[in-house]
Amino acid sequence: MARKIGLYGILAYCLYGLFFYWYLFYFADASLPFEYEGSRADPATFLNGRELMLSEEYSKIRNLLFFLSTPFEWLLYLFILLFGLSGVFKKWAEQSSTYKFVQTIIYVAWLSFIAFAATLPLSYISYSLSKTYNISTQSFSSWMKDELIDFWINFGTMAVIAAVLYWLMKKSLKRWWLYAWLLSVPFSLFIMFLQPVIIDPLYNDFYPLKNQELEEKILQLADQANIPAEHVFEVNMAEKTNALNAYVTGIGSNSRIVLWDTTLNRLDDEQILFIMAHEMAHYVEKHIYIGIAGYLLLTLIGLFLAAKIMEAVVARFGRALRIPAVHDIRSFPLFLMIISMLLFAASPFENLVSRYQETRADTYAIEMTENTDAAIATFQELTRAGRSQVNPPLLVKIFRYGHPSMLERISMLEEFEIEKRNQEKNEQSQ
């Protein structure tokens, strides 16, 4: 049975990979609909021939890596179970300590290390690809440092989750998922509160915006939107990437608006003000808190489904997977695999909600700034800097895009510009 499961797993992964290779490189059409040709959404109007070619190449390879990496994680956890490695990790943990909590930490340490080592080649390929296409400017040592920080943060989080989960399972095998969710609410909020001041600075240096004149303009914009902002933060990303970005992070008193220094270096003040208005829209429309509520709801559903699926899998395939019971720590790779699958399945819905919120933020920003030229130039520069596709294939958009495509964003701005021009004509004629 174990051999058959492993064979089917490999076969399914290969067929899945071949499908997405065929889809991305031969079937999917990322060309621009003819009605948009020559518009400012047409990449041929703001990218040269080489930039167009590099964008298409980079996007296809990057998208293929995305679709291959997540199922690879599922396959990894499956083989950890089939080969009995989960049992070996438990044995080593029990030999190392008599304390259950320490045993759990040691077990998770071994599992985390194997998963990190197995997925590192894919991470390196992604890093190397970004370097090749001049997206990343990060040195190997700096990249490796970030990978190790990721490892320790993931290990610490996973150790806490595993210790709590399996303690709850032994207390209540039927309702552990509900109690786990109740505990996840304060834990998630605590992590979100710490993110800007503890976790993010582990990767980069954050400091108040040095351009005081620009900061004053941004704060005036915030005042118009009734946002109690005192500082805008910039982060030194130029030593790592050529891409541009700005975002809102944190909750409560630790919430921040952050600009990458690459954005400051490549965009003018009017373009940056449009970006800032976009980020302020998320605050005004409470997208962060809506996102938190949605995350907690999906967590509840996910834990419930994980509990039911784990019961069914262990009852049917427990012997082949070498899992004697759901509440045994050896089932942890199965839990992680199921959660990863559920997250992947839920991503189209999450991205759909996110795209709606981003469209709302774009609308808010252009209504506040009324500078379509700056807004369109911003999106064009974002496309150039990130080697992005203006009109991505459907499956890529569904599973990867938390923002509308650049075609949709620029087209919306052009429509706003036409409506504004018509409105001004009507006012003059009256």
Three-class DSSP category at 173: coil
* Residues near 34 by beta carbon (within 8 Å), at least 6 away in sequence: none
Query: Distance (Å, rounded) from C-alpha 273 to C-alpha 301?
Result: 39
Counting beta carbons within 10 angstroms of the beta carbon of residue 409, is it exposed (0 to 12), middle (13 to 18) or buried (19 or more)? buried
pLDDT score for 138: 93
429 against 69, higher pLDDT: 69
**From the candidates 215, 234, 261, 279, which is the catalytic residue?**
279
Give the tens place of pLDDT for each residue, 265-283: 999 999 999 998 998 898 8
Three-class DSSP category at 233: strand
Q: Taking 70 as the threshold, does the pLDDT of residue 254 lie above it?
A: no
Beta strands in 236-338 (DSSP E): 246-249, 256-260
pLDDT score for 291: 87
Residue with tokens 């040095």: 210
Query: Distance (Å, rounded) from C-alpha 15 to C-alpha 284?
Result: 46
Confidence class of residue 372 from pLDDT cuts 50, 70 and 90?
Answer: very high
Domain boundaries, the chain: 2-174+316-429
Task: Return mean pLDDT, the chain.
Answer: 90
Query: Distance (Å, rounded) from C-alpha 76 to C-alpha 419?
Result: 53
pLDDT score for 426: 73
Give the tens place of pLDDT for each residue, 61-104: 999 999 999 999 999 999 999 999 999 999 999 999 888 889 99
First-to-final CA distance of the chain: 81
pLDDT score for 98: 86
* Residues near 342 by beta carbon (within 8 Å), at least 6 away in sequence: 302, 305, 306
Three-class DSSP category at 74: helix
Query: Distance (Å, rounded) from C-alpha 428 to C-alpha 381?
Result: 34
- In the annotation, is 29 catalytic? no
Query: Distance (Å, rounded) from C-alpha 257 to C-alpha 208?
Result: 10
Sheet holding 233-235, edge to edge: 206-208, 233-235, 256-260, 246-249
Residue with tokens 């003018």: 268
Number of H helices, E strands in the chain: 14, 4
Q: DSSP string of 345-405?
A: HHHHHHHHHHHHHHHHHHHHHHHHH--HHHHHHHHHHHHHHHT--SS--HHHHHHH-SS--
Give percent above pLDDT 90 in the chain: 61
Query: Distance (Å, rounded) from C-alpha 244 to C-alpha 388?
Result: 12
Q: Please state, in angstroms and as integers, the Cα–Cα distance from residue 229 to each residue in 216, 225, 276, 345, 408, following that order.
A: 11, 10, 12, 37, 30
Query: Distance (Å, rounded) from C-alpha 108 to C-alpha 92?
Result: 11
Confidence class of residue 248 from pLDDT cuts 50, 70 and 90?
Answer: confident
**From the candidates 362, 373, 414, 424, which is the catalytic residue?**
362
pLDDT score for 225: 74
Give the tens place of pLDDT for each residue, 196-227: 888 888 888 888 888 888 888 888 888 877 77
- In the annotation, is 279 catalytic? yes
- Is 278 assigned a ligand-binding role in the annotation? yes
The reply to whether the predicted model has a pTM over 0.85 is: yes
- Is 282 assigned a ligand-binding role in the annotation? yes
Give the tens place of pLDDT for each residue, 306-326: 999 999 999 999 899 999 999
* Residues near 295 by beta carbon (within 8 Å), at least 6 away in sequence: 188
Counting beta carbons within 10 angstroms of the beta carbon of residue 27, is it exposed (0 to 12), middle (13 to 18) or buried (19 or more)? exposed
pLDDT score for 252: 65
Give the tens place of pLDDT for each residue, 154-208: 999 999 999 999 999 998 988 999 999 999 999 888 888 888 888 888 888 888 8
